[in-house]
């Protein structure tokens, strides 16, 4: 099959770090255009908004949206209504209902919608799921602590309403947990720490339960300097499984398993191509529902104000 002609929208950190390199390697997609107010991509047609891009290049068949979640719904809806296949960065939107609306639009227009969860494509996730399948799970401990100044430099949107704060990375852990556990979990308690000058939490402690009284805890923190932690430990009757480095490393009772190298975004684009070829959609809202639940029942602690640039105080 000829490669699918694709436009990439929102040329920022993740577009440059991951989408562009993966699209450059992909035989499934031909990147023909980009839409971004300030950014651009060498060697393709550049536009400042999706409408201009789709007006000028009706041959575009698919768009991939790499902008923050708050403005994504409007852009995705426009693309779907114009008959384009759409891939969404995580989290798939700012609210659950708007993503459900997008699913309806995709069905009505007969196109594919892929709400991607890149961490589910980490190399340890499928082997972890397979190892856990027949095991009795007692407890799961998630530790997701990273330095927001390093990974999200100057990204004020992350602390604005809809930006999710520390749940922006934390939702990656929840996307893995909901993929490897074969039973439903539900939030029982949450404590969210909000900087006094920000609209989204900088840290969160979560407790979940499962149908056989499994205990699941998650500790998210955006203030981690030094070594970073993206770990999930699962205690079973037959030993302990540990996913670390965001799912790139897997240990069973301390012994490392052989895994292929990390290629999350190559895998995401392969999946998007398969969905398009099959005329299918993939929209799993489970990780986002747990985050919404945390905002529903979490208690709210106020902490020190947060500034990205300590020297400038901004």
Q: Which active-site residues does the annotation give?
A: 90
Q: How far is the CB of 160 from ligand NAP (least distance, A)?
A: 8
Q: How far is the CB of 249 from ligand NAP (least distance, A)?
A: 18
Give, as one character, the DSSP assignment of residue 245: G
* Of 67-75, 203-211, 267-275, 297-305: span binding ligand NAP (CB under 6 A): 67-75
* Of 22-30, 61-69, 237-245, 291-299: span binding ligand NAP (CB under 6 A): 61-69
**Using CA atoms, how far apart are residues 282 and 289, in angstroms rounded to an integer?**
16
Q: How far is the CB of 11 from ligand NAP (least distance, A)?
A: 6
- The partner residues of 219 in beta bridges, in order of sequence, read 143, 205
Under a CB-based contact definition with an 8 Å cutoff, are residues 60 and 50 in contact?
A: no
**Which residues within the stretch 76-135 sit at the binding site for ligand NAP (CB under 6 A)?**
89-90, 118
* Of 62-70, 96-104, 269-277, 296-304: span binding ligand NAP (CB under 6 A): 62-70
The nearer residue to ligand NAP, 88 or 234, going by C-beta atoms, is: 88
User: Does residue 240 touch ligand NAP according to CB under 6 A?
Assistant: no
Neighbours of 297 (CB within 10 A): 12
The nearer residue to ligand NAP, 14 or 307, going by C-beta atoms, is: 14
Q: Which of 8, 11, 62, 105 binds ligand NAP (CB under 6 A)?
A: 11
Q: Which of 3, 51, 71, 162 binds ligand NAP (CB under 6 A)?
A: 71
Q: Which of 23, 63, 67, 190 binds ligand NAP (CB under 6 A)?
A: 67
**Using CA atoms, how far apart are residues 195 and 160, in angstroms rounded to an integer?**
12
User: Does residue 301 touch ligand NAP according to CB under 6 A?
Assistant: no
**Using CA atoms, how far apart are residues 234 and 223, in angstroms rounded to an integer?**
25
Beta strands, E only, the chain:
4-9, 29-35, 45-47, 62-65, 85-88, 113-115, 137-145, 186-195, 203-209, 215-221, 229-236, 239-244, 249-252, 255-256, 299-303
Quote the radius of gyration of the chain (alpha carbons, Å): 20
Q: How far is the CB of 66 from ligand NAP (least distance, A)?
A: 5
Q: How far is the CB of 275 from ligand NAP (least distance, A)?
A: 19
Which of 178, 160, 204 is CA-nearest to residue 295? Answer: 204
**Which residues within the stretch 38-57 sit at the binding site for ligand NAP (CB under 6 A)?**
38-39
Q: Which of 8, 31, 63, 66 binds ligand NAP (CB under 6 A)?
A: 66
Q: Where are the alpha helices (DSSP H) in the chain?
A: 13-14, 20-25, 50-56, 72-81, 96-109, 125-132, 148-151, 167-180, 264-278, 286-297
**Using CA atoms, how far apart are residues 300 and 73, in angstroms rounded to an integer?**
28
Binding residues vs ligand NAP (CB under 6 A): 10-15, 36-39, 66-71, 89-90, 118, 151-152, 155, 157, 168
């Amino acid at each position: 099959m000829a490669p699918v002609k694709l436009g990439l929208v929102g040329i920022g950190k993740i577009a440059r770090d991951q989408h562009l390199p993966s699209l450059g390697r992909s035989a499934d997609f031909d990147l023909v255009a980009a839409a971004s107010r300030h950014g651009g991509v060498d060697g393709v047609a550049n536009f400042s908004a999706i409408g201009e891009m789709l007006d000028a290049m009706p041959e575009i068949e698919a768009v991939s949206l790499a902008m923050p979640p708050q403005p994504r719904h409007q852009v995705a809806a426009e693309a779907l209504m114009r008959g384009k296949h759409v891939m969404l960065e995580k989290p798939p939107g700012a609210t659950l209902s708007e993503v459900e609306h997008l699913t309806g639009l995709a069905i009505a227009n007969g196109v594919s919608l892929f709400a991607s969860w890149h961490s589910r494509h980490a190399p340890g996730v499928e082997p972890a799921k397979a190892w856990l399948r027949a095991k009795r799970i007692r407890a799961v401990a998630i530790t997701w602590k990273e330095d927001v100044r390093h990974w999200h430099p100057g990204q004020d949107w992350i602390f604005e309403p809809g930006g999710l704060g520390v749940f922006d990375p934390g939702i990656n852990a929840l996307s893995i947990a909901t993929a490897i556990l074969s039973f439903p979990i539900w939030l029982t308690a949450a404590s969210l720490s909000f900087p006094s000058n920000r609209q989204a939490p900088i840290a969160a402690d979560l407790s979940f339960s499962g149908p056989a009284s499994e205990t699941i805890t998650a500790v998210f923190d955006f203030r981690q300097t030094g070594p970073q932690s993206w770990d999930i430990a699962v205690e079973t009757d037959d030993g302990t499984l540990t996913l670390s480095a965001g799912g790139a490393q897997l240990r069973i009772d301390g012994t490392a398993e052989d895994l292929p190298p990390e290629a999350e975004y190559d895998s995401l684009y392969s999946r998007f191509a398969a969905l398009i070829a099959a005329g299918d959609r993939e929209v799993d809202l489970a990780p986002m529902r747990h985050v919404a639940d945390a905002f529903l029942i979490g208690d709210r602690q106020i902490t020190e104000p947060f500034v990205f640039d300590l020297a400038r105080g901004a």
